[in-house]
């Protein structure tokens, strides 16, 4: 199959590489050429523009945020030039309202739009074991499923309204970031009593909270090891803002979200926004000194 991939950050690059391993013809585009060259060395074809990457059967996008996607797809006029048959699979975490807007605009062009945000860090993407949250036209999802199988462990289908996948992803990220905040506060609590936080993390990740969130982020908190970042604090702020906005649209209060937003802004004020989300733990440490 002829595939396009737009947006080659650490996640996008890993997913595009797995599509290549599946034997597909993959055209890749990214603002910075270095990421493109790495995939060309693995057999990908370099697109000279986003339009060339969209001139395929199925195109994946994994751009950083709403603004980046809007710039590449809408402000440039690219979407208005697209024609069926084409399936656009957007794997980025974007606002639910924007996902609904994109679905409507794609439908007007006769192009299928599938929302497919993912759960997992870059190492999970490289292993091809992401959890993929999918919503959109059933026939388009069926066509793309063999491709999802190359990059994910399981596909979770959430209906035909594209925005549904983004709402669920935003909710999951809100829970994840809240867990990291809780771990940071708990680590400060035990340190205040002269207990190594690593002992707390080992205990909870092997008993009441098993799994990659507590063991992974907890380990970073215990070691105070925040670089290189797999999930930057500044992206955590983006996701918390999305959660607050999405909840506000249906009059759901998120008091914890507001607290975490304040703490993430603190990390950015202290020039830590480029560090891993686990750096949230440092905010509590600063505030108890």
Same structural domain, 216 and 73: no
289 — pLDDT class (breaks 50, 70, 90): low
Same structural domain, 76 and 124: yes
Examine residue 165 and state whether it is found in any structural domain, yes or no: no
pLDDT of 180 higher than 70: yes
Of residues 20, 28, 25, the one with CA closest to residue 47: 28
Same structural domain, 85 and 177: no
Q: Among 115, 140, 160, identify where a domain stops.
A: 160
Examine residue 48 and state whether it is found in any structural domain, yes or no: yes
Give the model confidence (pLDDT) of 38-89 as tens digits: 999 999 999 999 999 999 999 999 998 999 999 999 999 999 999 999 999 9
- What the block records as the tokens of 137 is 């036209």
pLDDT reported for residue 287: 85
135 — pLDDT class (breaks 50, 70, 90): very high
pLDDT of 114 higher than 80: yes
Q: What percent of the chain has pLDDT over 90?
A: 96
Same structural domain, 90 and 205: no
Same structural domain, 150 and 177: no
Computed over every residue of the chain, the mean pLDDT equals 96
For residues 120 and 96, is the Cβ–Cβ distance under 8 A? no
Give the model confidence (pLDDT) of 231-280 as tens digits: 999 999 999 999 999 999 999 999 999 999 999 999 999 999 999 999 99
Same structural domain, 200 and 122: no
Examine residue 257 and state whether it is found in any structural domain, yes or no: yes
Q: How large is the average pLDDT for residues 210-231?
A: 94
Q: Among 129, 160, 191, identify where a domain stops.
A: 160
Write the CATH number for 156: 3.40.50.720
Same structural domain, 148 and 10: yes
The residue segments making up the domain with residue 249 are: 170-288
CA dist list (Å): 33 to 2, 4, 8, 19, 47: 21, 16, 10, 19, 10
Q: What percent of the chain has pLDDT over 70?
A: 100
What is the Cα–Cα distance from 22 to 17, expressed in whole angstroms? 9
pLDDT of 103 higher than 80: yes
Same structural domain, 174 and 84: no
Examine residue 189 and state whether it is found in any structural domain, yes or no: yes
Q: How large is the average pLDDT for residues 120-138?
A: 96
pLDDT reported for residue 288: 79
Q: Among 125, 141, 160, identify where a domain stops.
A: 160
Residue 95: what are its φ and ψ, rounded to 5°?
Answer: -65, 145
How many domains does the structure of the chain reveal? 2
Give the model confidence (pLDDT) of 142-179 as tens digits: 999 999 999 999 999 999 999 999 999 999 999 999 99
For residues 237 and 246, is the Cβ–Cβ distance under 8 A? no
pLDDT reported for residue 33: 87
Same structural domain, 134 and 199: no
Same structural domain, 222 and 255: yes
pTM: 0.94
Same structural domain, 42 and 88: yes
Write the CATH number for 189: 1.10.1040.10
Q: Which residues are catalytic?
A: 169
């Amino acid at each position: 199959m002829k595939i396009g991939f737009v947006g080659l950050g650490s996640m996008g690059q890993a997913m595009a590489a797995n599509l290549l391993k599946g034997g597909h013809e993959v055209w890749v585009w990214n603002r910075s050429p270095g990421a493109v060259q790495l995939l060309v060395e693995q057999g990908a074809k370099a697109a000279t523009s986003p339009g060339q990457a969209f001139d395929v059967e199925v195109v994946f996008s994994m751009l950083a945020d709403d603004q980046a996607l809007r710039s590449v797809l809408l402000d440039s006029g690219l979407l208005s030039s697209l024609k069926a048959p084409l399936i656009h699979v957007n794997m980025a975490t974007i606002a639910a309202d924007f996902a609904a807007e994109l679905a409507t605009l794609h439908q007007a062009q006769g192009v299928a739009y599938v929302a497919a945000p993912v759960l997992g860090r870059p190492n999970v993407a490289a292993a091809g074991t992401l959890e993929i949250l999918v919503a959109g036209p059933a026939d388009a999802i069926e066509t793309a499923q063999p491709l999802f199988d190359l990059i994910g462990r399981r596909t979770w289908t959430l209906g035909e309204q594209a925005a549904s996948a983004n709402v669920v992803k935003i909710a999951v990220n809100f829970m994840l970031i809240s867990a990291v905040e809780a771990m940071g506060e708990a680590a400060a609590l035990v340190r205040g009593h002269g207990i190594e936080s690593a002992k707390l993390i080992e205990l909870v990740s092997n008993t009441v909270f098993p799994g990659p969130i507590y063991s992974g982020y907890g380990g970073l908190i215990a070691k105070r090891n925040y670089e290189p970042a797999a999930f930057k604090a500044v992206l955590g702020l983006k996701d918390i803002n999305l959660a607050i906005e999405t909840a506000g649209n249906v009059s759901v209060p998120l008091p914890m979200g507001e607290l975490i937003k304040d703490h993430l802004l603190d990390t950015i004020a202290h020039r830590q926004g480029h560090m891993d989300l686990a750096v949230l733990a440092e905010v509590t440490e600063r505030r108890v000194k």
